[in-house]
Amino acid sequence: MTAWLVTGAVMVWLVVCAVYDIRTRSVPNILTIPPFALAGLWAVWQGGITLWLFGLVFVVMFFSFWKGGTGGADGKVLATMAVFMPAGFLLAVVLRLLVGAGVWLRHGRTARFPAVPVFAAGAFLSIPVQIISGG
């Protein structure tokens, strides 16, 4: 039951972030930093693979942001998803790659698009996986 409450809360948060990303092409830090910090604390508490995954996503996304490949919210959203919705995180990454490839093929490698809605779609698509796995 608790896992579904967390999933529901993350889904609502993702929708709010996605709407901001679509409308303004940015997501305010007030929406991304608190969940990101909570995910970091939870990852430290859990340790093991959760902590490694959170750290890896954070480092990869930090360098991508630093090089201008992603927005700042993208990394915080993905790292938070990696902790609280691992299946959603995986689908979000796959969708991001597919959508990114499609946009680049059509508009060139410098084309930009809001990624948080794609991440939210991956999270929504992961719900059947969670149901089937009993999680």
Model pLDDT for residues 52-106, shown as the tens digit of each residue: 999 999 999 999 899 888 889 999 999 999 999 888 888 888 888 788 788 888 8
The pLDDT tens digits of the residues spanning 40-61 come to 999 999 999 999 999 999 999 9
Could you tell me if 35 and 80 are in contact, meaning their C-beta atoms sit under 8 angstroms apart? Answer: yes
Provide the residue ranges of all domains of the chain, joining segments of one domain with +.
Answer: 2-133
Q: For residue 86, count other CB atoms closer than 10 A to its CB.
A: 17
Question: Whole-model pTM?
Answer: 0.86
Alpha carbons 26 and 44: distance in angstroms, whole number: 28
Tell me how far apart the alpha carbons of residues 56 and 67 are, in angstroms, rounded to a whole number: 17
Total residues belonging to the chain: 135
